[in-house]
Amino acid sequence: MAPEIHMPEPLCLIGSTEGHLVTNQEALKILSAITQPVVVVAIVGLYRTGKSYLMNKLAGKEKGFSVGSTVQSHTKGIWMWCVPHPQKPDHTLVLLDTEGLGDVEKDDKKNDTQIFALAILLSSTFVYNTMNKIDQGAIDLLHNVTELTDLLRTRNSSDSNQTEGEGPADMSFFPDLVWTLRDFFLDLQANGHAITSDEYLENSLKLKQGSDERTQTFNLPRLCIQKFFPVKKCFVFDAPALGSKLSQLPTLSNEELNSDFVQDLSEFCSHIFTQSKTKTLPGGIQVNGPRLESLVLTYVDAINSGALPSIENTVVTLARRENSAAVQKAIGHYDQLMSEKVQLPTETLQELLDLHRTCEREAIEIFRKHSFKDEGEFFQKELESLLSAKQDEICKKNADASAALCSTLLGSIFKPLEQEVAQEFYHKPGGHKLFLQRMEQLKANYRQQPGKGTQAEEVLQTYLNAKETVSRTILQTDQVLTDKEIQSKAEQERAEAARLEAQRLEAIRIQEEQRKAEMERQHQEQLRQIALEKARVAQEQQWILKQRAQRDLTAEEKTIK
C-alpha cells in the first residue's frame, strides 16, 4: 500500500505574477510523491459564492481553504489540498479551490479564463458554483468553455472530417459537471409538476428550435456545455443560515445551520465521494500524482506562452516527460541492483553478463510499469541503448578492476624474483634454467590465487612479455659464463690429465727404481749367499782337513806308540 499523504492544510498550486501563471514548487513536490490514482475535484464560480466552504467540507475539515466574510475575494489562483479518499481505498482526493471569477478589484480579466480553463483541464469532477438559480448570466459565464474549444480539442489532422457539432474525440478526458446552486429560492416545478434538480439543469440547457441569429446565440453556450460535459449533476442548496450568522458560517455547527442546507451538503459530499471518477487521460490511462504534476506544468507553460494546448499534444508531452522519467528511474534501479549484486572484478565475463541481464530485465520491467503511450517503443529503445552502454561500461570497469588487482598481485608474488634479478643472482652458468624454473614456480602460485577476474592471463602475459628482455639477458650471460666455465673446465681437465700422467710416469719410475733396487738387493743377497756358501764350504773343507789332520796325527801317534 502506498504511503498516505500528510497535508494538514492547502497550498497554492498555481498563482499569478505580472500576468503570468506561476506554479508552486512545494505543491508540485507533494504531487510528485503521490503514487496512487487521483480523483481531482475543482470548483469554479463567481467570487464570494461559498466555493471554499464546500471544498473544506469535502476535505472533512472546518477550516483549510480560506473562507471570507467580507466582499473581497480571499482565494487567489488555484489552491490544492490532497487528502486520502474517504470512499476509495488507495486513491487520493485532490481538491482544487479557485480564485473567484468576476472580481471587480482584479485588473486582468484574462486570468479568469485561464483559471477556468485550468480547472476543467485538471479535474475529473468540475464543480460550477453559482447563486440562486440557473439564468442566462450563469450560462454565459460557463460559456467560457466555448472560447476554449481549441484548447480542449482532441482531434488531430486525421479528424479534419469531423463535422461541426460533433463532440471531442475522447470525452473520457473531460470532467463530469456538478452544478451547485447556492441559496436556491425557486420551486422545482415545470408545467405544474415537481422536477428534480437534475431535470431543472437539463431544462435550462435545452436548445430552442430555429436557425435565426438570436436562437443560435441562445443555443451556442448550451450546445457547448452539453457536448463538453455529457455527464452532469445539479445540487440546489438552501441558504445555510439567516442574517448575521452568514458571516460566521465557517464556525457554525450543524445544529446552528439550516437543516435543509445540512441535508443538501451531505448529499453533495456523498455524490462527490461515490461518483467522482479517477482522473484519466485519453485511452483510459489513470493519472497519479506525478502525471497530474506534469499536466499542471504542461498547461501552465502552454498558457504562459500564449498557445492553446490540445489534449493530444498535452498527452504526447506528458508521455514524453513521464517516459523520460521512467527511463531515468529504470536506469537508477539498474545502477542500484548492479551495485548491490556485483562485486568487481567477477571471476568470469559470463558471470558479469548474467548479472547484467538479470538487472536489465528488472530495469525494463520498472520502465514498463512507469511508462505509457511509448509509441514505437521509442523510449524503451532509448533505455535499451543506455543499458547496452551500461553493459559496456561495467565490462570495462570489470576489466580495469581485474587488471589493477592482478597487477598488484603480480607485484607481490614476483617481488622476490625482481629482487634476485636486481642482485644478479641468475648471472651465472645455468642461471637461465634457474630463472625459468623460478618463473614457472611463481606463475603457478599466481594462477592458484582466487578472485583475479577476467584479465588474469592477459595481465600475466603482459608481465611475462615485459620480462623477455630480462630472460634474454640472463640467457646471454649464462651462455657467456657457461662457455668460459666449459673452457676453464677443459683446461682444468687437461691439467689434471697431465698431472695424472706425470703421477703415473713418476709411479712407473719409482716402481722401476724399486724393481732395480730389489734386483740389486736380490743380486747382492745371492752374492752374499754365494760368499757364505763358499765360506761354509771352505770352513767345512778346513774342518775336514783339520779332522783328517787330527786323524792322521792320531794315527801317527798310534803308529809311534
Q: What are phi and psi of 45, to 5 degrees?
A: 175, 180
Beta bridge partners of 39: 93
The model's pLDDT over 396-419, given as tens digits with 9 standing for 90+, comes to 999 999 999 999 999 999 999 889
**Domain spans of the chain, in order of start:** 11-153+174-305, 321-404
Beta bridge partners of 20: 17
Omega prior to 345 cis, within 30 of 0: yes
Nearest one of 131, 168, 127 to 150, comparing CA atoms? 168
Give me 139's grid cell: 450560462
**Residue spans of the chain under pLDDT 50:** 1, 68-74, 104, 146, 149-150, 152-169
Q: How many CB atoms lie within 10 A of CB 3?
A: 9
Nearest one of 328, 302, 332 to 314, comparing CA atoms? 302
DSSP 192: T
Q: In this predicted structure, what is the pLDDT of residue 389?
A: 96
Helix, strand, coil % over all residues of the chain, rounded to 5: 60, 10, 30
- How long a stretch of residues is the chain? 561
Name the CATH superfamily, with its identifier, for domain 11-153+174-305. Answer: P-loop containing nucleotide triphosphate hydrolases (3.40.50.300)
Task: Return the residue matching grid coordinates 479518499.
Answer: 85
Q: How far is CA 557 from the centre of its chain?
A: 164
User: Helix or strand or coil: residue 17?
Assistant: strand
Give me 119's grid cell: 480547472
CA 93, CA 39: separation in Å to the nearest integer? 5
Q: What is the pTM of this model?
A: 0.66
Q: In this predicted structure, what is the pLDDT of residue 241?
A: 72
Q: In this predicted structure, what is the pLDDT of residue 102?
A: 56
Q: How many CB atoms lie within 10 A of CB 460?
A: 18
Judge contact between 148 and 114, C-beta under 8 A: no
The model's pLDDT over 43-102, given as tens digits with 9 standing for 90+, comes to 998 766 678 889 988 988 877 676 544 334 445 789 999 999 999 999 999 999 988 775
CA 42, CA 157: separation in Å to the nearest integer? 31
Helices (H), 123-164: 136-142
Q: In this predicted structure, what is the pLDDT of residue 393?
A: 94
Nearest one of 171, 199, 176, 168 to 186, comparing CA atoms? 199
- Burial string for 119-155 (b: 16+ CB within 10 Å, else e) reads bbbbbbbbbbbbbeebeeebbebbebbeebeebbbbb
Which amino acid is it at 244?
S
Residue 466 sits at the vertex; the CA angle it makes with 463 and 472, to the nearest 5 degrees, is 125
Give me 289's grid cell: 500524482
Q: How many CB atoms lie within 10 A of CB 227?
A: 16
Q: Sign of the CA dihedral 144, 150, 151, 156? A: positive
CA 316, CA 310: separation in Å to the nearest integer? 10
Q: In this predicted structure, what is the pLDDT of residue 157?
A: 32
Task: Return the residue matching grid coordinates 435550462.
Answer: 204
Give me 22's grid cell: 506561476
Reported in sequence order, the residue ranges of 184-338 that DSSP labels E, i.e. its strands, are 189-190, 193-194, 232-236, 280-281, 285-286
* Cα atoms in the 13 Å half-sphere on the side-chain side of 331: 19
CA end-to-end distance (rounded Å), the chain: 182
CA 538, CA 560: separation in Å to the nearest integer? 31
CATH topology of domain 321-404: Methane Monooxygenase Hydroxylase; Chain G, domain 1 (1.20.58)
Task: Return the residue matching grid coordinates 493530444.
Answer: 312
Q: Which helix (H) or strand (E) holds 42?
A: strand 38-45
Nearest one of 142, 88, 140, 92 to 119, comparing CA atoms? 142
Nearest one of 36, 105, 43 to 70, comparing CA atoms? 105
User: Helix or strand or coil: residue 340?
Assistant: helix
Q: How far is CA 205 from the centre of its chain?
A: 55
Q: Sign of the CA dihedral 555, 557, 560, 561? A: negative
CA 459, CA 408: separation in Å to the nearest integer? 10
Judge contact between 51 and 129, C-beta under 8 A: yes
Q: In this predicted structure, what is the pLDDT of residue 252?
A: 74
Task: Return the residue matching grid coordinates 650471460.
Answer: 477
Q: How far is CA 418 from CA 404, 421, 463, 481, 510, in A?
A: 19, 5, 12, 21, 59
Which amino acid is it at 291?
R
Contacts of 376 (CB under 8 A, 6+ apart): none
